[in-house]
Amino acid sequence: MKLKTINQAVRDLRRNPTRTLLTTLGIIIGISTVILVLSAGEGFRSFINQQVEAYGSNTIIVQTYVPPTTRAREAGSNNPLSSVSFSAITTLRTRDVEDIKRLPNIADAYGAAMTQKSFAYRQLNKTAFIMGADAARFRIDKAGLAAGRFFTEQEDLAAAQVVVLGSNLASDLFEEEEAVGKTLRVGTYNFEVIGVYEPRGGFALNGEDDQALVPLRTAQKKLMGIDYLFYVIGQVDDVNQSDATAEDIKAVLRQNHGITDPTKDDFLVQTQEQSLSTFNTVLAGTTFLLIAVAAISLIVGGVGIMNIMYVAVTERISEIGLKKALGATNADILNEFLVEAVIVTLLGGAIGILWGSIMAFGISLIASGIGLTWAFIVPPSAILLGLGVSSVIGLAFGVFPARRASKLDPIEALRSE
């Protein structure tokens, strides 16, 4: 393509810059949405991978689970709350943890339960989640302490009233004071603060920086009044054998819980790889849906460009006739209008990429502000996709007006003057 054709197309577009910019709005909105979705998706994926790495990629999670048969039975019961809150599964016990620990590929395991309690220190009050876990958690978890120590197995067995605070929770309660060694009230009990976690990030409000950790038996007996577990975390020696180990765990739990039909399992066993696979599937589906919505904007933008190009052809009929009279071929006219369409869409694509990147950066700042370790990532593939889609739209929606312009009869075109 001749450079003269490109220069001519640019000059024609500069005649009416306002119309040119308005023509690109649909493309700008569509491309910026695509960039935002892909960038936010990569940022979220990076965040999840960091969380998995922080907690260990060699772990298996066992959670209580309401079997579908129980859900159906309770949904049809006369209990007005049954459709919202199914009865608690109380079969996961400390015995299960001990049996899981004895499996060949299990290096260690711990059981845990969670509740929400009020924390009070002097005039300061705060409600936060509190986790009860046995001391094996500290051998599996990679979190470090900013101050103090973890509780011991002896303190767990004795249901000692000691607590390790998340970094944010410690700051909220003690502000500038040293937290370790202080006594605070948790529910109706006094607890000694023996440690404070280093900041580790995580999901806002539910992140571990905003939680507290106490011995499992302390949580069960004094704070919750239960004797069962909510979940178990197991650490494997060989990650490559995680799937087989997960099946071994299922076999142990079915035997302990008297389950012969796998469809009636009252637990859910997942490796970290399975959890990531589920997350990636959901993320891919969500990304596809949002990009499909953005595609509608791109199509609308393409139709707008086609209409404006038709208007431009009508306005420049005599000019087209003069160019043909001076020797311009049909191909020259076709190329000129196609180049105009592509330049308009590329301009919209470039602005869309810039605006989408700015919005993605804003999201990363907001996420960082609420304690999430969220990376700002704009994949190069997203930029190439944005520019490529813009070019294709310019060609696809510019070809019909361009063909109309190229087929004009020069004599009839000059008469239109």
Q: What is the pLDDT of residues 352-367, one digit of tens each?
A: 999 999 998 898 888 7
Candidate from 2-11, 166-175, 179-188, 367-376 with smallest mean pLDDT: 2-11
Candidate from 35-44, 201-210, 303-312, 331-340 with smallest mean pLDDT: 201-210
Strand 212-215 versus strand 124-133 pairing type: parallel
pLDDT at 300: 81
Best mean pLDDT range from 81-85, 169-173, 302-306: 169-173
Candidate from 1-5, 84-88, 149-153 with smallest mean pLDDT: 84-88
End-to-end CA separation in angstroms for the chain: 30
Residue 9 pLDDT grade (very low, low, confident, very high; cuts 50, 70, 90): low
CB atoms within 10 A of CB 40: 22
Size of the chain, expressed as the number of residues it contains: 417
Pick from 305, 416, 400: nearest CA to 19 = 305
Q: pTM (2 decimals)? A: 0.66
Positive or negative CA dihedral for 170, 174, 176, 181?
negative
52-58 contacts at long range (C-beta below 8 A, 24 or more positions apart): 52/272, 52/275, 52/276, 54/142, 54/143, 54/200, 55/141, 55/142, 56/140, 56/141, 56/142, 56/235, 56/272, 57/239, 57/272, 57/273, 58/235, 58/236, 58/237, 58/239, 58/242, 58/272
CB atoms within 10 A of CB 98: 11
Alpha-carbon gap, residue 45 to 256, rounded angstroms: 37
Residue 3 pLDDT grade (very low, low, confident, very high; cuts 50, 70, 90): low
Alpha-carbon gap, residue 202 to 47, rounded angstroms: 9
Alpha-carbon gap, residue 166 to 164, rounded angstroms: 7
pLDDT at 81: 37
Query: What is the distance, to the nearest Å, from the Cα of residue 44 to the centroid of all Cα atoms in its chain?
Result: 4
Per-residue tokens: 411: 């004599």
Residue 310 pLDDT grade (very low, low, confident, very high; cuts 50, 70, 90): confident
Stronger pLDDT, 397 or 416, i.e. the higher one? 397
Residue 346 pLDDT grade (very low, low, confident, very high; cuts 50, 70, 90): confident
The answer to whether 164 and 196 have CB atoms below 8 angstroms apart is: yes
Strand 183-186 versus strand 124-133 pairing type: unpaired
Kindly report the average pLDDT of the chain as a whole number. 82
Alpha-carbon gap, residue 153 to 104, rounded angstroms: 23
The answer to whether 395 and 331 have CB atoms below 8 angstroms apart is: no
- Contact partners, residue 204, CB within 8 Å, separation at least 6: 370, 371, 372
Candidate from 38-42, 136-140, 165-169, 311-315 with smallest mean pLDDT: 311-315
**3-state DSSP assignment of residue 10:** helix
pLDDT over 70 percentage in the chain: 84
Alpha-carbon gap, residue 182 to 193, rounded angstroms: 6
pLDDT at 82: 40
HSE, side-chain direction, 13 A CA sphere, residue 22:
7
> Is residue 349 scored above 80 in pLDDT?
yes
pLDDT at 7: 65
pLDDT at 84: 35
Pick from 118, 120, 179, 111: nearest CA to 145 = 179
Q: What is the pLDDT of residues 108-138, one digit of tens each?
A: 999 999 999 999 998 889 999 999 999 999 8
Stronger pLDDT, 368 or 129, i.e. the higher one? 129
What are 196's strand-pairing partners?
147, 165
Residue 5 pLDDT grade (very low, low, confident, very high; cuts 50, 70, 90): low
